[in-house]
Structure 1
Amino acid sequence: MEFVWVLVLILLGTKAAGHLSVRLGQPAVLGELLVGILMGPALLGWIHQGSFIEYMAEIGVLLLMFMAGLETDLEQLKKNWKPAMAVALGGIALPMIGGYGVGQLFGFSAAHSLFLGVLFSATSVSITVQVLKEMNKLDSREATTILGAAVVDDVLVVVLLAVLTSFFATGDGAEVSISLLLIKKIAFFAVVFLAGWLVVPRVLRWTSKFRVMEPVLTFALIFCFAFAYFGEKMGIAGIIGAFAAGLAISQTSFKHSVESKVEPIAYSIFVPVFFVSIGLNVSLEGVGSQIGLLAILTVMAVLTKLLGGGLGAALTGFKRRSALAVGAGMVSRGEVALIIAATGLSSGLLEARYFTTVIITVILTTLIAPPMLKALFGGGGPRLQLPDQ
Structure 2
Amino acid sequence: MLDFLPDGPLIEFTILLLVSLTIPPIFERLRLPGLVGLLVAGIILGDNGLQLLSPDSETIDLLSDVGKIYLMFVAGLEIDLAEFRKTKNRSMGFGFATFAFPIITGTLVGQLFGFDWVASVLIGSLIASHTLLGFPIVNRLGISSNEPITVTVGATIFTDIAALLVLAICIAIDAGEFSPLMLALQLGALALYAVLILFGVDWAGKAYFRRTGDEESNQFLFVLLVLFLAAVGAQLINVDQIVGAFLVGLAVNDVVGHSPVEEKVEFVGSTLFIPFFFVGMGLLLDVPVFIETVTQNFAFPLIMIGGLFVSKFLASYISKLLYGYSWDETLTMWSLSLPQVAATLAAALAGVNAGIIPQEVFNTVIVLMLVTSIIGPTLTERFGRNLPLTTTGLETGGDWQWWEQVEASSEKEHTPNLEQRQAQEFTVVVPIYNPLTERYLIEMAALLANHEAGKIVPLVITKAHVHMDEPDLSISLRESEQLLEKAAAYSQEFKVKATPLLRIDDDIAEGITRTAREQDSSLILMGWSESVTGLRSRLFGSLIDNVIWSSHCPVVITRLLDEPINLHRILVPVKNLSVTAVRAIRFAQLFADTHQASVTYLHVCDPRTDKEQIQIFEQEIRQVLEQPELNVSYRIKTVPHDKTAKVLLRASRSFDLIVLRSLRRRTAGGLAVSDVTTEVMDSLACSFILFGEPHS
Distance 1:128 1:272 in 2: 16
Question: Paired residue for 2:75?
Answer: 68
Alignment of 1:58-207 (within 5 A): 58-78=65-85, 79=88, 80-101=91-112, 103=113, 108=114, 112-123=115-126, 128=131, 131-132=133-134, 135=137, 140-141=149-150, 142-159=152-169, 162=172, 165=174, 173-174=176-177, 177-207=182-212
Secondary structure of residue in 2 paired with 1:344: coil
Residues 113, 179 of structure 1: CA spacing in aligned structure 2 closer, same or farther, 3 A cutoff?
A: closer
1:284 and 2:287 are equivalent in the alignment? yes
Question: Paired residue for 2:493?
Answer: none
Question: Paired residue for 1:34?
Answer: 40
Residues 91, 357 of structure 1: CA spacing in aligned structure 2 closer, same or farther, 3 A cutoff?
A: same
Alignment RMSD (CA, Å): 3.2
Secondary structure of residue in 2 paired with 1:128: coil
1:9 and 2:15 are equivalent in the alignment? yes
Distance 2:223 2:289 in 1: 45
Contact in 1 for aligned 2:127/2:308 (Cα 8 Å):
no
Question: Paired residue for 1:228?
Answer: 231
Residues 277, 125 of structure 1: CA spacing in aligned structure 2 closer, same or farther, 3 A cutoff?
A: farther
4+ runs deviating over 6 angstroms: 124-127, 384-388
Superposed CA offset, 1:46-86 (max 9, x none)? 21112211211221232233233333211333411222122
CA drift of 1:335 comes to 2.5
Question: Paired residue for 2:313?
Answer: 310
Distance 2:80 2:350 in 1: 29
More helix by proportion, 1 or 2? 1
CA drift of 1:328 comes to 0.8
Considering Cα pairs closer than 8 Å and 6+ residues apart, tell me whether 1 or 2 has the greater RCO. 1
Secondary structure of residue in 2 paired with 1:43: coil
Of residues 327, 331, 335, the one that matches 1:325 is 335
The one-letter code matched in structure 2 to 1:222 is L
Contact in 1 for aligned 2:171/2:239 (Cα 8 Å):
no
Question: Paired residue for 1:343?
Answer: 354
**Greater CA drift, 182-191 or 142-151:** 142-151
Question: Paired residue for 2:372?
Answer: 369
Identity of aligned residues (%): 20
1:48 and 2:37 are equivalent in the alignment? no
Distance 1:136 1:238 in 2: 31
Of residues 266, 270, 274, the one that matches 1:267 is 270
Contact in 2 for aligned 1:29/1:370 (Cα 8 Å):
no
Question: Paired residue for 1:169?
Answer: none
**Greater CA drift, 148-157 or 286-295:** 286-295
The one-letter code matched in structure 1 to 2:280 is S
Distance 1:33 1:147 in 2: 26
Q: Count the aligned residue pairs.
A: 358
The one-letter code matched in structure 2 to 1:281 is L
Secondary structure of residue in 2 paired with 1:251: helix
Secondary structure of residue in 2 paired with 1:151: helix
The one-letter code matched in structure 2 to 1:324 is W
Residues 133, 64 of structure 1: CA spacing in aligned structure 2 closer, same or farther, 3 A cutoff?
A: farther
Question: Paired residue for 2:639?
Answer: none
Contact in 2 for aligned 1:306/1:330 (Cα 8 Å):
no
Secondary structure of residue in 1 paired with 2:22: helix
* Structure 1 unaligned spans of 5+: 166-171
CA drift of 1:340 comes to 1.4
**Greater CA drift, 36-45 or 289-298:** 289-298
